[in-house]
Every structure is written in C-alpha cells, then in structure tokens.
Amino acid sequence: MFLAIDVGNTNIVLGVFKGDELISSSRIFTRKDALADEYAVLFNDMLRIEGIDPHNVNGCVISSVVPKLTNRLAEAVEKISSAKPIVVAAGLKTGINIMIDDPAQLGSDMVANAAGAVARYPLPVIIIDLGTAMTFSVIDEARTFVGGVITAGVRTALDGLTDRTSQLPDINIEAPAGVVGKNTVDCMKSGIVFGAASLIDGMIERISEEKGKAFTVVATGGMSRYIIPQCKSRISVDADLMLYGLLEIFKRNS
C-alpha cells in the first residue's frame, strides 16, 4: 500500500492507495510543536481506525509547506511502517516542466497538484487550491508549469477582517440568500463567499485572455466546496487532487 501525506498550515491529510485506488482519506489538525513520536501515534491510530495495518504500507510521499515538521513526519512514518518516505523537493521526477524564474521556489503543494492535474485532466489546465492561501497554477499543453497566482485564502481573509475590526463577528462560511445583505452577518457572508467566487471567475477570465486560450479548470482544497458552487465559470471540484498527484510522483520516483 502507498501512503500520501499532504502537510498544510491548517491540516494534514493522509491518503492510502491500494494500487491506483484511493481506499482511505483522513484529516488531522497540523500541530507544529508535536514530536515525531506523537505523530507516529496519531498516524498509527488514524490508519487503524480506517481498517489499515500500517505495516502493510511500503511506499510514502510527503508534500509539506511546513518545513519544521517535514523531517518529523518522515520519521513518524518510518516508525510505524516499512516505507522510507520521499519528500517532494527539487530534483524529483514529477511529469511536469517548471518554467518559472526559480523553480526551487515553487511550493510542494503546487507541484503535487500539478502532477495530479496533468495525469487526470485535459490540458491546458488551471488548478485552484482553496486552502490557507488561494493559489492558481497554470499548466500548458506541453505539461509546462508556466506560472501562477497567490492570494489570501477564504478563512485567512475572514480572520483578518474579524481580527482587525472590533464590531464584526466571526461567521460561518456559507452563501447568504442574496448578494445584497440586510444585516451585518449576511453582508459579511456575501463579501466572503461571493467575493471569493467573483475573484476566481475574474482570474480565470484574465488568465484565459492573457494566454489566448480556453482552459480546463479544476479546484481543490478545503474551501472549494463552499465557494466553487457560487462561481459562474465551469469548474470541476477534486478534493483528492493532491493525493493523486503524490501517487503519480511516487510512481515516477520509485
């Protein structure tokens, strides 16, 4: 079995594959102060809850945007399985060409998403990842990562709004009944949800105009299920895109 680990600033996602089939996906909070032994216990327990014996895991790839945790998580995997984890970094075979000013600066999450999208969707493709940050990755017909866009994520934007304004409450992220709100909460929901959806629609339009072509568009990340239904563009939602990307990277490097 193969274990894919996506380490984000907010959550860590564990995906287990049997061949090409994703048989388990689970999520835990990212604890930046936790030790390798603590993560070993967490990983062991999460896998066993899913009915998976960790000793049957013989391959693992880790994508991490939290550098201080990367080695600890690799050590945790080695403690509970027979896998020696591969960490997504410069020099790995990914199936994509990275044509930006400094390829080493490209986040491992964007690399993994790109690898998954190239394997699963028609090219060219725009990948939108709605996580702590909202990122747009642009891949052309030749499997080349030509660039992208980074902005604040939906929850990050909301937290910034409520932290810096004394009278605005924290709210649930959900679409209100209409764009024009009649109370503070609905006004905020409109700004956060419809505002993010409009940003996405606008960026897709701008990217398409700049590149002079139509793109397949796929969205992933925890906020995608709240925001993408409110977009006017045609966008596929693939919650497990990064996990499949890590599987593709494993196949190319094992």
Catalytic residue, chosen from 37, 45, 101, 109, is 109
Q: How far is CA 54 from CA 81, 109, 252, 253, in A?
A: 5, 24, 23, 21
Q: Which two tokens stand for residue 117?
A: 């999208």
Would strands 2-7 and 59-64 be described as parallel, antiparallel, or unpaired? parallel
**Per-residue exposure over 202-233, b if at least 16 CB sit within 10 Å of its own CB, e if not:** ebbeebbeeeeeebbbbbbbbbbebbbebbeb
Say which DSSP state 74 is in. Answer: H
d(CA 58, CA 46): 17
With left for phi above 0 and alpha for psi between -120 and 50, is residue 231 left, alpha or beta?
Answer: beta
Could you confirm whether 109 is annotated as catalytic?
Answer: yes
Q: Which two tokens stand for residue 206?
A: 């701008």
3-state secondary structure of 179: coil
Q: Which two tokens stand for residue 229?
A: 């239904």
What angle is formed at CA 6 by the lines to CA 136 and CA 58, rounded to 5 degrees? 135
Would you name the residues annotated as active-site residues? 109
